[in-house]
Structure 1
Amino acid sequence: MLALRRPDDAAASSCPVCRAPLAAAPRTPLPALVRGSGQRVLVAARDVAVVELLAVSLELAGYRVGLAGSFGEAVARLGEGRFELAVVDLGLPGLPRSKGAGRPVVRRLPVLYLLPPDRLEAILPELDSGEKDYVTTPIRVAEVLARMRVLLRSADRSPRGASLSYDDLTLDDDGCRAVRGCRTLDLTPAEYRLLRHFLVNAHRVLSKEQISRFVWGDFREGNAIEQLVSRLRRKLDRDGPPLLHTRRGFGYWLGREESEA
């Protein structure tokens, strides 16, 4: 086995013929790695090698990574966790082929597509919708990271401008403000995120794990979820018919009971 010598070994610091000391060669600094700030990124691809490469590279670059191997799995992951960006393989099993069919799934989530060079025309309509980009395969990690940073910066500058409502409850994302009837709810950031998740998924039962991954980005044991839901319920349902309900053994859901509707 060959032994590798460090640049500062004695043999490397003197002339191999006359043993006269040599001037130290200037060290070229490595380029600084532009790191993420813990943003959650979903990687959805069919090629296991690509998934593993991106997962390791993105984690080393400072991102938190979720993985999916099919379109159905990607939809489930997006529903249970907060992601700032999705990296989607255009050859993902189950991915709708019709124009714009995948848009409702990611809503306004920035998307970076992975595709062979001859498939570019397939996503041109998606690129027109904004906050979408692509890299061609075989992928280069440096290019993926660079395009991700551009998409994330663009998303940060774009106003959310969304308003969600159900019955007499309204959420205004511009001001992070929740109003029920004529009363403004005094919510913590975690309570606001949870209420928004319930509104987007009205009448759908959300498990404790889904809620935990969406609000905090990971699953938390103990009674953290029960305490969070209890605090939100006290503020939300204080003066009106209950909107937040428990499905014992399954989770929680937001909506009006059929007898009240």
Structure 2
Amino acid sequence: MANARLLLVEDDRALADLVTFHFERSGYDVTRTGDGEEALILVDEVKPDVILLDWMIEGISGIEVCRRLRRRSTTANVPIMLLTARGEESDRIRGFETGADDYVTKPFSPRELVARVGAVMRRVRPALAGERLAYADIEMDTAAHRVRRGGELINLGPTEFRLLRHFLEHPGRVFSRERLLDAVWSHDPDIDVRTVDVHVRRLRQAINAGDRPDLIRTVRSAGYSLDQEA
């Protein structure tokens, strides 16, 4: 992970010093702030590869910073890990529903934190950095805007292409309709969550033509995921 850019949003100076030390020693370039407003500005300047975000910070709360970052097209897919003293299940669920990729409860081991950030980045960033995405027998060339399944070209509309790209960037992960709206439609207020169902159905029809196995799993009361076990 040498030279990966990390934005640390933590207003506890002693903890921020400790976390910065461990990540810089592991080869990260760390930018830090303790203020939510400044974090929203820094994210455009630094263009971080990963964000460590304390839930309780000065100004805008960490959970609100997370929500706003997920609504921006430029940061919708940046890995975000929440740091918090709130360990209740309801808090963890709220964090994940807001868009966090992982959730670490204080106190924590800095070495474990570095390892967990590395795991999140290995899962997310390589797919985002490349021009070719693949899962099972589906291949997407993002530069040429082409999709193939089993070697055969599949024609997708622009929205279905963006939707499939998002699934390919996060295989196996379940996304609620609201999260898909944020990621694919940038939470356009004119778009209803039921629109997601329509486009998922169109995507299914396109990639499953010819009685191919359905790779999109519907999870009751949760959303959709790209999953070979579907």
Q: TM-score, normalised by structure 1?
A: 0.46
CA gap of 1:222–1:253, structure 2 versus 1, over 3 A, is closer
CA distance in structure 2 between the aligned counterparts of 1:80 and 1:246, rounded to whole angstroms: 22
Which structure has the higher relative contact order (CA within 8 Å, separation 6+)? 2
Q: What secondary structure does 1:218 align onto?
A: coil
Larger Rg: 1
Q: What residue is the counterpart of 2:220 in the other structure? A: 248
Per-residue deviation, 1:44:
6.2
Q: Check whether the contact 1:80–1:211 (CA below 8 A) recurs between aligned residues.
A: no
Deviations 1:208-230 (A, max 9, x none): 11111110111643411111111
CA-based RMSD = 4.5
| Structure 1 residue 107 corresponds to structure 2 residue 92 | no
Write out the 4+ residue segments of structure 1 that deviate beyond 3 Å after TM superposition.
Answer: 67-70, 76-83, 92-98, 100-106
Matched letter for residue 213 of structure 2: P
- Report matched runs for 1:124-143 at 5 Å: none
Q: What residue is the counterpart of 1:173 in the other structure? A: 142
Q: Check whether the contact 2:173–2:225 (CA below 8 A) recurs between aligned residues.
A: yes
Per-residue deviation, 1:83:
4.6
| Structure 1 residue 52 corresponds to structure 2 residue 37 | yes
Q: Check whether the contact 1:68–1:77 (CA below 8 A) recurs between aligned residues.
A: no
Q: Check whether the contact 1:207–1:250 (CA below 8 A) recurs between aligned residues.
A: yes
CA distance in structure 2 between the aligned counterparts of 1:201 and 1:79, rounded to whole angstroms: 18
Per-residue deviation, 1:178:
0.8
Q: What residue is the counterpart of 1:203 in the other structure? A: 172
Unpaired segments ≥5 residues, structure 2? 1-6, 12-32, 43-51, 56-61, 85-103, 105-109
CA gap of 1:107–1:78, structure 2 versus 1, over 3 A, is farther
Q: TM-score, normalised by structure 2?
A: 0.51
Q: Identity of paired residues, percent?
A: 30
| Structure 1 residue 238 corresponds to structure 2 residue 209 | yes
Q: Check whether the contact 2:177–2:193 (CA below 8 A) recurs between aligned residues.
A: no
| Structure 1 residue 228 corresponds to structure 2 residue 199 | yes
Greater share of helix? 2
Unpaired segments ≥5 residues, structure 1? 1-42, 59-66, 110-158
